[in-house]
Amino acid sequence: MLYTRTLQALISELQKLPGIGPKSAQRLAFHLLRQPDAEVRKLASALVEAKERIRTCSRCCNLSESDPCELCLSPRDDAVVCLVAEPRDLVALERTREFKGRYHVLGGLISPMDGVGPEQLKVAELLARLQATDRVAEIILALGSTVEGEATSLYLTRLLKPLGLKVTRLAFGLPMGSELEYADEVTLARALVARREV
Amino acid sequence: MLYTRTLQALISELQKLPGIGPKSAQRLAFHLLRQPDAEVRKLASALVEAKERIRTCSRCCNLSESDPCELCLSPRDDAVVCLVAEPRDLVALERTREFKGRYHVLGGLISPMDGVGPEQLKVAELLARLQATDRVAEIILALGSTVEGEATSLYLTRLLKPLGLKVTRLAFGLPMGSELEYADEVTLARALVARREV
């Protein structure tokens, strides 16, 4: 009975979030109870609205409110498709203003430890997309330099090269062992410019 | 346009939470979008419900869905009132099952740096509560040993002692299960001063 039922329910829900342990959940809950009603309602409705409206683009598999997404509809270079693991990686690359081609969001990286193989990623969607057009000449692998990023890059290189595509990777310049989303914009831009064929 | 409007709205709302920076907010938002609809709705309604139902007990100023709260209504020792800064401190003390008296939640600690003085805390409510009864004999200050905790303890000691109340503080010493060599000097010094015959 230490916490009332609704407070315990809120703490339990907050605790399900990644990186939020019991102490942080408690702290967040108490913080929220101190906020004005309107603020908490704004958070709650932002959650529901985002969940309701945001879908996956059937072309590039990025998150979007429309299908195809704005990026797929905008005039860009169809000859180059940049593969990223997550939407946040796409955003990181867009911030560099260095890349003018298309994207494809894999939705993760190959990780046997977590039971993620190519079939859990949007690889079939990528192949279908490549088959539907002959405009694509180059695939850029922008998957970071973690073990999972390396494994996925290797897998995709072997898959895509036989299709007659030029496969390139972001240049090292990225700090080793880092994740793409934490790279600063200059490093990321440089890595993009100095990409190499594999 | 990197993020859609609703996604940006969600990230902004999450970023208002304490300890959640832009990167964490992004991460949480993407995590939530991967969750089933029902899960996100549960979080949203837990937020709204907690905010709607949870009020402050007019007696002890703890969070509660009823007024007076369950703790104030339960049969406990009226002679001892334990002062805590926050509801979570009350919960920590209740977990010990060591204390059978009443509580009073101050709602913070005196902190001139943050513009928090006694008038921002539930001190007036405490005095009113003490005036309404002659049952209280002892006040326990359970306010921690930070600068703010010390300042608040000092202030309350000066305020409450003249009322003829016994004012006590939690003992300071080595944490249980800790090794001597890792204790900081101040803690060790206090533990030495407060040594007891066994």
Of the candidates A26, A49, A94, the beta carbon closest to that of B6 is on A49
Model pLDDT, residue B174: 74
Model pLDDT, residue A174: 65
Closest Cα in chain B to A55: B33
Instruction: Kindly determine whether residue B29 and residue A50, on different chains, have CB atoms separated by under 8 Å.
Output: yes
CA-CA distances (angstroms) from residue A61 to A183, B166, B174, B193? 23, 68, 56, 66
Q: For A74-197, which CATH class?
A: alpha beta
Spatial distance between the Cα atoms of A26 and A32, rounded to a whole number of angstroms: 10
The mean per-residue pLDDT over the stretch B155-183 comes to 84
Q: How many Å lie between the alpha carbon of A137 and the closest alpha carbon of chain B?
A: 25
The mean per-residue pLDDT over the stretch B71-77 comes to 94
Model pLDDT, residue B161: 93
The mean per-residue pLDDT over the stretch A149-166 comes to 93
Is A198 within 8 Å of A157 (Cβ atoms)? Answer: yes
**Is B26's Cβ below 8 Å from some Cβ in A?**
yes
Residue A173 has pLDDT above 70, yes or no: no
**pLDDT tens by residue, B9-64:** 999 999 999 999 999 999 999 999 989 999 999 999 999 999 999 999 999 999 99
The helix/strand/coil state of B74 is coil
Query: Please, which pLDDT band fits residue A68 given cuts at 50, 70 and 90?
Result: very high
Q: How many Å lie between the alpha carbon of A42 and the closest alpha carbon of chain B?
A: 7
**Is A53's Cβ below 8 Å from some Cβ in B?**
yes
Residue A175 has pLDDT above 70, yes or no: no
CA-CA distances (angstroms) from residue B24 to A22, B31, B122? 17, 10, 34
Model pLDDT, residue A172: 66
Spatial distance between the Cα atoms of A65 and A198, rounded to a whole number of angstroms: 35
Q: Give the CATH number of domain A5-53.
A: 1.10.8.420
Spatial distance between the Cα atoms of A47 and B142, rounded to a whole number of angstroms: 38
Residue B1 has pLDDT above 70, yes or no: no
Q: How many Å lie between the alpha carbon of A174 and the closest alpha carbon of chain B?
A: 19
Model pLDDT, residue A197: 67
Least confident range from A12-26, A172-186, B15-29: namely A172-186
Start-to-end CA distance of chain A, whole Å, equals 61
Instruction: Kindly determine whether residue A88 and residue B64, on different chains, have CB atoms separated by under 8 Å.
Output: no
- Residue (of A58, A190, A71) closest to A126 by Cα position: A58
Find chain B residues with C-beta within 8 A of A48's C-beta: 40-41, 44
Supply the mean pLDDT for chain A: 89
Q: What is the ipTM of this complex?
A: 0.71
**pLDDT tens by residue, B104-131:** 999 999 998 999 999 999 999 999 999 9
Query: Please, which pLDDT band fits residue A171 given cuts at 50, 70 and 90?
Result: confident
Dig out the tokens for B156 from the structure.
């309350």
**Is B23's Cβ below 8 Å from some Cβ in A?**
yes
CA-CA distances (angstroms) from residue A38 to A34, A59, B65, B113, B150? 12, 38, 19, 28, 35
Angle at B172 between CA B170 and CA B178, to 5 degrees: 125
Model pLDDT, residue A123: 96
**pLDDT tens by residue, A85-131:** 999 889 888 888 889 999 999 999 999 899 999 999 999 999 999 99
Give start-end residues of each CATH 3.40.1360.10 domain in chain B.
74-197
Find chain B residues with C-beta within 8 A of A45's C-beta: 44
Give start-end residues of each CATH 1.10.8.420 domain in chain B.
5-53
- Residue (of B65, B95, B8, B121) closest to A10 by Cα position: B65
Query: DSSP letter at B186?
Result: H
Tell which wins on pLDDT, B111 or B146: B111
**Is B116's Cβ below 8 Å from some Cβ in A?**
no
Spatial distance between the Cα atoms of A166 and B15, rounded to a whole number of angstroms: 40
Instruction: Kindly determine whether residue B47 and residue A40, on different chains, have CB atoms separated by under 8 Å.
Output: yes
Model pLDDT, residue B198: 65
- Residue (of B116, B188, B121, B186) closest to B159 by Cα position: B121
Spatial distance between the Cα atoms of B110 and A181, rounded to a whole number of angstroms: 40
Spatial distance between the Cα atoms of A175 and B76, rounded to a whole number of angstroms: 60
Query: Please, which pLDDT band fits residue A72 given cuts at 50, 70 and 90?
Result: very high
Spatial distance between the Cα atoms of A106 and A104, rounded to a whole number of angstroms: 6
CB neighbour list of residue B22: distance below 8 Å, 6 or more residues apart? B11, B15
Best residue of A51, A61, A84, A105 to probe chain B, by most B CBs closer than 10 Å: A51
Spatial distance between the Cα atoms of A197 and A170, rounded to a whole number of angstroms: 9
Spatial distance between the Cα atoms of B103 and B68, rounded to a whole number of angstroms: 12
- Residue (of B44, B36, B108, B192) closest to A14 by Cα position: B44
Residue B80 has pLDDT above 70, yes or no: yes
In percent, the amount of chain A with pLDDT more than 70 equals: 93
Model pLDDT, residue A186: 72
Query: DSSP letter at B183?
Result: S
